[in-house]
Structure 1
Amino acid sequence: MSALILSLETSSPICSVALHRAGELVGQSELRLEKSHSSHVSVLTNQLLENTGHSLRDLAAVAVSDGPGSYTGLRIGAAAAKGLCFALDIPLLAVSTLQALAVQVAATTAQPECYLFCPMLDARRMEVYTALYMHTAETVLAPTPLILDEHSFAEQLAHHQLLCFGSGASKFQPLVEASSQVQFLTGVQPSAIAVGVLAHEAYQRQEFRDVAYYEPFYLKEVYTTTPKPRV
């Protein structure tokens, strides 16, 4: 029987889980509640397995959205995935959040070969986490933090049409209003379904992560502060 892979997507406010067998979707569930990941990712997983007639023992691997994205969300997803892999003694897979977003949009885009796909995740002020992909998911520009201005992607826009989407895309739109080379999609959120598609390919290539030492790809250092002592 083909490998059954559970995928977790917790990089955004949406908590999403999906099951794939041989790259084909078996079932998916998501919850759109802020700060719900830690208490609901296990519940969603168990419900999805039950609803599709499976158990944890049927899993061949667990995949997790690797980042970038919400620091807390990525930590929760990584902890849940690592816990399952350790307990079940199965491989861990990690899939780029930005690449999964690009695959998700390319799958529903007419004539996707005409575009470079540009996922953008909101960071601070005018900064986004972004990358560029072809419709085949091949990387054109590796994930990077980028402070947007009117010259962003000028080299690519000279030769390609860009399709921009994700939580940070609205920052870029006013800067390129005059360009016919850029189009925008709204309402695109990360989904475990796209993570599962890429996870199947990674599983076939045996691109497994070390369960003990895996850390999400935050892209930038996470800064923490120590509260000042009360006087």
Structure 2
Amino acid sequence: MMAYILNIETATKNCSVSVAKDGETIVCREMAEQGYSHAEKLHVFIEEVLREADLKFRDLAAIAVSQGPGSYTGLRIGVSAAKGLAFALGIPLIAVDTLAVLAAQAKVSDGIIIPMIDARRMEVYSAIFDVNLHKIREVQAEIVTENSFSELNSKIYFVGDCLEKCKTVLLKENFFFLDEIIYPSANEMSELSDVSYKKNDMVDVAYFEPYYLKDFMIATKSN
């Protein structure tokens, strides 16, 4: 039986929504703006993707949402909408790792991928993935210096919204910056959410909380 999943990605400045059938994006709507317009845009995009895909809310098998790390405001808006829809429709909620969504845009065949989300100053939120999107290192908040990732000798592909500042200190010859990949997108969520759906990997609608950037930072610094 085919599964239609609505994917919501609001962890960064990109407000992004897709509807997918069996892991393939049918329609995607997104807009990245300096001022967060997620509150105004999100529900409009949800209605637009469903209308364009000729689907009704009742046709959806699940709602997927980007779980962070990311912007407090963006995550709160996306997760609130996703939880509300999942609850109202009586369908499962799937949480997708924001950094995996970002890494999935890097179509490389060798080396490793390091997606990074800008925090402040030289601080970033990053994880490390192999080319098959298996996570090699969990999410961390870290301050990028000239020694960051220096223990890694394979090709490293960096993606995210903080590459310009990171280029000033990450100078090793095996470091490559994929400048065109800036924000996570609901387009890449489609495959990831479908995998979770087929594995029955859901979260509790009532109790699910995202990785808020602020909480994440405090937790990291208290170690």
Q: TM-score range by the shorter chain?
A: over 0.9
Q: Percent identity?
A: 40
Amino acid at match of 1:8: I
**Residue 154 in structure 1 maps to residue 150 in structure 2:** yes
Amino acid at match of 2:200: Q
- CA drift of 1:67 comes to 0.4
Rg bigger for which structure?
1
Q: Could you say what secondary structure the match of 2:27 adopts?
A: strand
**Residue 117 in structure 1 maps to residue 113 in structure 2:** yes
**Structure 1: 5+ residue stretches without partners:** 107-111, 225-231
Aligned twin of 2:92: 91
Amino acid at match of 1:153: F
- CA drift of 1:222 comes to 6.7
8 Å CA contact 2:71, 2:213 repeated in 1: no
Instruction: State which of 209, 226, 229 in structure 1 corresponds to 2:203.
Output: 209
8 Å CA contact 2:155, 2:174 repeated in 1: yes
Q: Could you say what secondary structure the match of 2:39 adopts?
A: helix
Query: 2:31 & 2:177 partners in 1: Cα distance?
Result: 25
- Superposition TM-score, scaled by structure 2 size: 0.92
Query: 2:216 & 2:95 partners in 1: Cα distance?
Result: 20
- CA drift of 1:31 comes to 2.3
**Structure 2: 5+ residue stretches without partners:** 219-223
Instruction: State which of 131, 134, 138 in structure 2 corresponds to 1:142.
Output: 138
**Residue 172 in structure 1 maps to residue 175 in structure 2:** no
8 Å CA contact 1:144, 1:219 repeated in 2: no
Query: 2:163 & 2:94 partners in 1: Cα distance?
Result: 28
Query: 1:87 & 1:22 partners in 2: Cα distance?
Result: 22
Q: Could you say what secondary structure the match of 1:82 adopts?
A: helix
Query: 1:132 & 1:31 partners in 2: Cα distance?
Result: 26
Deviation per CA, 1:53-85, whole angstroms, max 9, x where unpaired?
101110000000110111100000000000000
Aligned twin of 1:184: 177
Query: 2:16 & 2:126 partners in 1: Cα distance?
Result: 21
Structure 1 residue ranges (4+ consecutive) displaced by more than 4 angstroms after TM superposition: none
Q: Could you say what secondary structure the match of 1:210 adopts?
A: coil
Query: 2:164 & 2:127 partners in 1: Cα distance?
Result: 16
* Number of corresponding residues: 216
Amino acid at match of 1:203: Y
Deviation per CA, 1:107-164, whole angstroms, max 9, x where unpaired?
xxxxx232210111111111000111011110111110010111111111xx311001
8 Å CA contact 2:9, 2:65 repeated in 1: yes
Aligned twin of 2:221: none
Query: 1:97 & 1:25 partners in 2: Cα distance?
Result: 17
